Structure 1
Amino acid sequence: MAETKTSTPPSSGGIAVFNSLKPGAPVPFVTREDGSVSWYSCGPTVYDLSHMGHARNYVSTDVIRRILMHYFDLKVNFVMNITDVDDKIIIKARRKRLYDLEREKPYTPAQRHALATAAFLAYAHANLPLLEVAGDSPLDELNYLARRDAAYGTVLTGGVLPTTEGGKPGDAEAKTKMHVANMDAAARGLQTGSVFDDAEEILLPYLDSLYKETIDTSDQTMFTDLTKSMEKLFTDDMDALNVLPPDSITRVTEYVPQIVEFIDGIIAKGFAYEANASVYFDIDAFEKAGNTYARLRPESKNDKALQEEGEGSLSKSLAGKRRPGDFALWKKSKPGEPFWPSPWGNGRPGWHIECSVMASDKLGEQMDIHSGGIDLAFPHHDNELAQSEAYFYRPGHGEHSWVRYFFHMGHLSIAGSKMSKSLKNFQTIQDALATTYTARSMRIVFMLSRWNDGLEISPDMRKQASSFENTLDNFFTNVKARLAEAGVSSGLQKLSLGETVEAKSSLAAEFEQAKADLDAALRSSFDTPAALQVILRLVRNANVSMSEPSADLSTIEAVARWVTKIAGVFGLDPNAQPPYESSLGWGPANPTASAAGGAGGIADPKVAVQPYSGVFAKVKGDVAALGLTTEVALNTLLAELRPDAEFALLEKELDDNNNNGRYDIERLALPFLRAVSSLRDELRRVVTNPDNKDKKAAVLALSDRIRDYDLVELGVQLDDQPDRPSLIKFVPVAKLVAAREEKAAAVAEKARLKEEAQRAREKAEEEKWAKAKTPPQDLYRNNTADFSAWDADGLPTKLADGSDVPKTQSKRLKKEWDRQKKLHESYLEKFGSA
């Protein structure tokens, strides 16, 4: 339909990216000659459900990956690890085992209370020390609330801890609130006796401190059962978010022999040492050889808190380090921890070494991109870099570069604190998709912010995302309806990114500018906020053009197909497949098991159109039953409509075009829908004929039913147009039903308000005549609390204390008396004598 010029796809040259290895402005992204890109992404530590913070990380990563692959046409080899052995996993699995064992013990209520009390006091001592100094008597569940409010009331109402600088609550305050919540539940459990139900969070660490060394970890199923189940849930979450699966997945437990070999290699080069059956990286030796440590975060190099966090919860027991900053490559396993054999004794990998080994195994000595959350920059990624560059170090060859570009995704925060499992201030992905978001709406929200910026989702962002989605939704629906109305059956079919449209209208010029602007945005470190604005601006211009009498449908279709393709590139259509050129518009907002129906087509056209042909038959019968025998045009229409014949011709045409048994259900349904719409349009004309006033109510009711019920259940919306056939639109049933219910609710509310106003008027009228019934002479006579004497007309002359009524008050009383006189006269005139 539209004339196009073919040009080459967007070149991958000229891309600039934010690179954490070179902070500041974006730097050129230099691709390999063969267009390949190697990428390692730090995956999850699988010990709990994934939350919105994970979604922000992995969805943002997915958007960039899709842009590189499907916009810049690069061949991305994407590797992601699964951390399935880690301090958090060990502790959670072990504590769960100990907790289950403890519940099975035959405790008396007194014994359970004593156990929980000990755990209660230990938890307070370790995490909420101010509780111990907030009163004179020992802490217990009875005085806990008063102690809590005295010690931490300020934090609980949005304030900060005394040690917090800057006056703004952050992670420390979030952690305090988490600990308080755990203590609140435990205090309730101690008072009600439901210790194991309410006090679990304080019992877990206490039981671990008592019995962790008694657990037999030679059977590692306690750990693997947890990690396998959590990995499956993580994968399900990623599928639900339309995140592309990795090309390769690596797991720590599958790489332990390679990790041991890798560590041995680092020791052989003099950059690591063994101490007390553990192995530590020697930062001093590494730097003396001319290498740089903490290249990502040099300012954090001596941050003790981050160092300890990087070593994990067991860092304090790692003895033998030569310097505080040296980090563990191999940890000696203690009782209660899983273990593997090594030259240094039974132990387990340090946290950082896993990624170095797995990434190097899959991608070699150097990778193009390494990515992860910004919280991993130091020490995790800095330690990865150091140990990997130590392993590949060659004397005399200078410093090895293991990673060319480091991408760090910004935090998702809640009230100033990062969303994290450890702070328990998160919403799980499952809950978010069940209650608040679709895969599409969540992705749009994340794309409204740059991938490397911190993000705190606000109501305004949610509103922006909803507006963007609705704008594109309506645009696609209207374009398809206009093309169908104009009888356009084939059109462009597809529009590649590099094609240009002949400049027949101002929209064509705006379209070419939009393509250039979007290309510039994506080359500027994948600037999705700018890209979404480009799309929004183009769609709004196209909507204006579409409303014009001489709309340039060829360019409008080209715009719609291009926007469809870009939405596919961004992953906004969970059911679309690259190269995203075979359809116009997007499908359901969440991934579905099957794309059958809708734009995806359906294999048996006769079965597919039965709901539409059924509605036509029903409407035709109901219109005939109205008995409008004098309406010649209507009865001619009833006699001549042959949608079945039109459908048969269309089916044959599609067969002749070799559709491989797949059909566009919307197109096949149009003959029946046009027939229904034409009958309804004629009913709208008939109802204006004064000769049919006795059947007006029935005609209107049928017309409304066809529009609001018969067609809504098919996912079809009719837009009435003056002097033109109604516009047929395909809209999701749920959306139409919601609109119908909203309209019905608005009508009901209007009726309710009208009824309330009527009742108020009636009440006011009733109160008016009740007051009017009183003669003016009796208006003040019964008010003995304020007055003690009255004249012949009933006007007060003396106040209650016997003094004269002041002149100003007397004037006011006389005015009210005069009003009552007129009102009473009206009453007598209306109702007769009182």
Structure 2
Amino acid sequence: MRVVAAFARQLLILPHRPVRRPFPVWRNTRFSHSFAMDSIRVHNSLKPGGPVPFVPIEKGKVSWYACGPTVYDQSHLGHARNYVSTDIIRRILMHYFGFDVKFVMNFTDVDDKIILRARRNRLLEVEKKKQYSKDEIAKLGSDAFQAYAKSSLPLLLSDESILDASNYNARRDAAYGKVLAGGTLSGEGKPGDDEAKLKMHISNMDAAAAAISSGQVFGGADEILLPYLDSLYKESVDTSDQSMFTDLTRFMEGEFTDDMDNLNVLRPDVVVRVTEYVPQIAKFVETIVDKGFAYEAEGSVYFDIAAFEQSPGNKYARLRPESRNDKSLQEEGEGSLSKSLGGKRSPGDFALWKKSKAGEPYWPSKWGNGRPGWHIECSVMASDVLGGQMDLHSGGIDLAFPHHDNELAQSEAFYCEGHEHTWVNYFLHMGHLSISGSKMSKSLKNFQTIKDALANTYTARSMRIVFLLGRWNDGVEISPDMRLQADGWESTVNNFFTNVKSLLIEASGSADTSSGDVNKLSLNGDKPQDALLVELEQAKKDMDLAMANSFDTPAAMRVISELIRKTNVHIKDNAAALDLSSVEAVARWVTKIVGILGLDANARPPYDGLGWASSAAAADVDPATAVQPYKTVYETVFANAQKLDLPSSDVLKDLLAQNPTQDFDSIVASGTRDPEQLGLPYVRAVSKLRDELRKATASASPDVKKAILALSDRIRDYDLTNLGVYLDDRPDGQPSLIKFVPAAELIAARDEKAAKDAEKARAKEEARLAREKAEAERWEKAKLAPEDMFKSDDRYSEWDGEGMPTKMKDGSEVPKSQLKKLKKDWDRQKKAHTEWKTKFGSSA
């Protein structure tokens, strides 16, 4: 099998998929940068409108608190959108502008969602261990089925008859058919969160109905059993043992951390957990009460919004003033377990400390056993690490109200000394990810987990590119067009790196990706100005403007792709006398930028390599181990070539005698640990030998020529492909161009080509068999003498000497119009029969 050059070039448009490695905690690394830090502007949710100047509290340093996840379930693409976008901004501040960033993130490990999930899981485990009769378990399923419908899908109960699994489908379609068909409950507008929630409940009921019908209540009906069992037994759960909660949260925290590592998200400098701060939270709340901004009621403590706003300079809901009276958001902020808590002076007042009810975890306080309110947690943890004021606070846009607005109010109340206190200078809110018109949410179950996405849909790089192509503070709607745009951008950059490396290898025998100063070629040098260097300098200025304009990554991505386009044109237009130094300078600058943006999981600051992966990725790899696969291929190929009866050639003789080890030793001595660089001497030796073998076919015997071509194809399509090396065969006796491409992509393309060839061969064979069958049928038909062709036709009763019908079955004459057609058929058969006799003769 030969992979022709035209096809193989298509390999380079496939997305690059890097090997993922465990990601360490990165400390801040300073980089010199000519662009002034004080020119940065950023979108600040505290000041609606356009970007405002970014002025940190302490010059050159940034203090940053990010709201982390509530760790009760697997992370989904909505989390990826938030934390990857946050990571991009953090990297830009650190590695583009050179700020020393202190990044703090929390894990919310005590929360209504966590309590419900852990408690319900425990109750379900207990229930599954009980000894149920068949009738008892059927009744349990039926009761849970009806209870779930009553609370979540009330329209199913409009009929007076009892709802059960047998009539569920009909009632579901009658009550919610228009929602299932993509419409809305009201029949107007586009479907949103309410419809997504309904579909989630319907999905749970669908599964339960099927499970109940088959008698498998436990397993298939778990989602409706969980809330039902909780309603029956929640107060019986012993929560003095908090392991049921911590086991869940610690596991999910580990799952989240793994997901972030796999997405190449830098780990926080400091991680804080709510359960490690409960005493400090209680003390923090006491201070707010003592200052008159909160009050105790029935064992809980509430923030007094009216008292807060009466204090000079204080204003509640500064982030989302239009939402301050939104009852649904207020209730969501308080949590589903807090609806029965009473004693509020005003509906908008929110809980700082909640009295724990039976079945909930608790800690001691001056107001009795209780647990922290959701919002107070972040105020205490952020203040403990960063102090009474911070530069940045970030989170998803859905946290703006009430969570962040409540955080601001209670923190400013805590620090208030009779005048306004600024707790956060800049609030950054990441736009949410939406699918089918509603935000991606664990509670709505309309999400794809990060693990599933990385296993089946995205790479860490392709997902990050999707987010980079949109503004961090704008929403992202998942669509095929969005993916196509991201894949196209990735292919453009990937092809560029591959081709530049190939040109450098061809020109100098190496493509050192381990070092290089992207600024070493400047317009201030002694050489005449290079047009491409002018474009590079302009790209740097455009990149500065994009980064300083509230981290405008879509503009940054356009700068990169446009510079690559111009460089590709430059390479094409100057092929005869190309100055590779300027091309290399562009490639190294692009490498630095994509490294800063986190698009290379293997790269490390200062990103001075060339291409997606820097030599730092292999810093701990033993050179002898890294080069062994290349060396093995070299030894095998040379051994195979020496066995051939090759035409006499001094060039071939010299090539077969060469030993790349000396070049390899020189590379090792230079300190390079990039496997591609280490293997290059052996790859070049194989490529040169293959080129010369192909030339030798002109004077080789047919058998040797066949053997040489078979070896040549094997070298390219298997030996080197399996190592991630593609040889681009070029015309006019030019040496093959060596391109390093991920082996998985080359192998996939080779297998795809083989599959297409196999399909083409199969279709060709089927066509041949069809032709043979048609030919056999034709000759079988031609075998019949024309005199006999009509005699078996029962429409006729008499025939003439040539076998032509003369009388119809009823004795009448054959009509003249019919005779005319019959004669044409007879003549055709006579011609075919004559051909048959000529072909087969007496042997037939």
How many percent of aligned residue pairs carry the same amino acid?
A: 63
- In the alignment, structure 1 segments of 5+ residues that lack a partner are 1-5, 589-593
Candidates 633, 643, 646, aligned match of 1:615: 633
Is 1:335 the counterpart of 2:358 in the alignment? yes
Distance (Å, rounded) in 2 between the aligned partners of 1:811 and 1:138? 79
Candidates 672, 679, 683, aligned match of 1:669: 679
Contact 1:492/1:557 (8 A) holds in 2: no
After TM superposition, the structure 1 = structure 2 runs for residues 335-374 of structure 1, keeping only pairs within 5 Å, are 335-374=358-397
Q: Deviations over 1:247-299 (max 9, x none)?
A: 11111122222222222222233222221111112222223335322222222
Map of 1:731 onto structure 2: 741
Candidates 225, 229, 244, aligned match of 2:266: 244
Contact 1:352/1:380 (8 A) holds in 2: yes
Map of 1:591 onto structure 2: none
Is 1:416 the counterpart of 2:434 in the alignment? no
Distance (Å, rounded) in 1 between the aligned partners of 2:809 and 2:403? 89
Map of 1:459 onto structure 2: 480
Candidates 122, 135, 141, aligned match of 2:165: 141
Candidates 158, 183, 187, aligned match of 1:159: 183
Please report how far the alpha carbon of residue 385 of structure 1 lies from its aligned counterpart in structure 2 after TM superposition: 1.6
Candidates 546, 559, 565, aligned match of 1:521: 546
Please report how far the alpha carbon of residue 323 of structure 1 lies from its aligned counterpart in structure 2 after TM superposition: 1.8
Read off the aligned partner of 1:112 and give its amino acid letter.
I
Q: Deviations over 1:161-209 (max 9, x none)?
A: 2x3641x222222211211222122222222222222221111111111
After TM superposition, the structure 1 = structure 2 runs for residues 303-318 of structure 1, keeping only pairs within 5 Å, are 303-318=326-341
CA 1:811 to 1:414, structure 2 compared with 1: closer, same or farther past 3 Å?
Answer: farther
Contact 2:513/2:674 (8 A) holds in 1: no
Contact 2:63/2:101 (8 A) holds in 1: yes
What secondary structure does 1:13 align onto? helix
CA 1:789 to 1:725, structure 2 compared with 1: closer, same or farther past 3 Å?
Answer: same
CA 1:775 to 1:28, structure 2 compared with 1: closer, same or farther past 3 Å?
Answer: farther
Is 1:207 the counterpart of 2:232 in the alignment? no
Map of 1:567 onto structure 2: 594
What secondary structure does 2:37 align onto? coil
Please report how far the alpha carbon of residue 45 of structure 1 lies from its aligned counterpart in structure 2 after TM superposition: 0.4
Map of 1:756 onto structure 2: 766
After TM superposition, the structure 1 = structure 2 runs for residues 467-482 of structure 1, keeping only pairs within 5 Å, are 467-482=488-503
Contact 2:805/2:814 (8 A) holds in 1: no
Distance (Å, rounded) in 2 between the aligned partners of 1:518 and 1:539? 14
Candidates 681, 685, 688, aligned match of 1:678: 688
Read off the aligned partner of 2:234 and give its amino acid letter.
K
Contact 1:39/1:79 (8 A) holds in 2: yes
CA 1:315 to 1:686, structure 2 compared with 1: closer, same or farther past 3 Å?
Answer: same
Contact 1:686/1:692 (8 A) holds in 2: no
Map of 2:204 onto structure 1: 182
Please report how far the alpha carbon of residue 391 of structure 1 lies from its aligned counterpart in structure 2 after TM superposition: 2.2
Candidates 616, 624, 628, aligned match of 2:646: 628
Map of 2:706 onto structure 1: 697
Map of 2:559 onto structure 1: 534
CA 1:675 to 1:369, structure 2 compared with 1: closer, same or farther past 3 Å?
Answer: same
Please report how far the alpha carbon of residue 373 of structure 1 lies from its aligned counterpart in structure 2 after TM superposition: 0.8
Contact 2:67/2:394 (8 A) holds in 1: yes
Contact 1:280/1:330 (8 A) holds in 2: yes
CA 1:236 to 1:801, structure 2 compared with 1: closer, same or farther past 3 Å?
Answer: farther
Read off the aligned partner of 2:698 and give its amino acid letter.
T
Is 1:56 the counterpart of 2:81 in the alignment? yes
Q: Deviations over 1:342-394 (max 9, x none)?
A: 22222111111111222222222322211111111111111112222222233
Read off the aligned partner of 2:340 and give its amino acid letter.
S
CA 1:38 to 1:693, structure 2 compared with 1: closer, same or farther past 3 Å?
Answer: same
Distance (Å, rounded) in 1 between the aligned partners of 2:358 and 2:580? 73
Read off the aligned partner of 1:684 and give its amino acid letter.
R
Candidates 706, 719, 730, aligned match of 1:710: 719
Contact 1:10/1:71 (8 A) holds in 2: no
After TM superposition, the structure 1 = structure 2 runs for residues 353-502 of structure 1, keeping only pairs within 5 Å, are 353-395=376-418, 397=419, 399-487=420-508, 493-495=515-517, 500=522
Read off the aligned partner of 1:351 and give its amino acid letter.
W
Map of 1:39 onto structure 2: 64
Contact 2:300/2:353 (8 A) holds in 1: yes
TM-score, structure 1 normalization? 0.89
Contact 1:10/1:497 (8 A) holds in 2: no
CA 1:400 to 1:496, structure 2 compared with 1: closer, same or farther past 3 Å?
Answer: farther
Contact 1:567/1:573 (8 A) holds in 2: yes
CA 1:795 to 1:666, structure 2 compared with 1: closer, same or farther past 3 Å?
Answer: same
TM-score, structure 2 normalization? 0.88
Q: Which has the higher contact order (CA 8 A, sep 6+)?
A: 2
Contact 1:116/1:190 (8 A) holds in 2: yes
Is 1:291 the counterpart of 2:314 in the alignment? yes
What secondary structure does 1:500 align onto? coil
What secondary structure does 1:461 align onto? helix
Distance (Å, rounded) in 2 between the aligned partners of 1:799 and 1:159? 69
CA 1:778 to 1:372, structure 2 compared with 1: closer, same or farther past 3 Å?
Answer: farther
Q: Deviations over 1:486-512 (max 9, x none)?
A: 226579932257973556433222222
Is 1:229 the counterpart of 2:246 in the alignment? no
- In the alignment, structure 2 segments of 5+ residues that lack a partner are 1-30
What secondary structure does 2:546 align onto? helix
Candidates 90, 103, 106, aligned match of 1:78: 103
Q: Deviations over 1:534-556 (max 9, x none)?
A: 21222233233334122221011
What secondary structure does 2:447 align onto? coil
Distance (Å, rounded) in 1 between the aligned partners of 2:132 and 2:755? 57
CA 1:767 to 1:153, structure 2 compared with 1: closer, same or farther past 3 Å?
Answer: farther
Map of 1:3 onto structure 2: none
- Count matched residues: 804
Contact 1:788/1:799 (8 A) holds in 2: yes
Please report how far the alpha carbon of residue 400 of structure 1 lies from its aligned counterpart in structure 2 after TM superposition: 3.0
Is 1:282 the counterpart of 2:304 in the alignment? yes
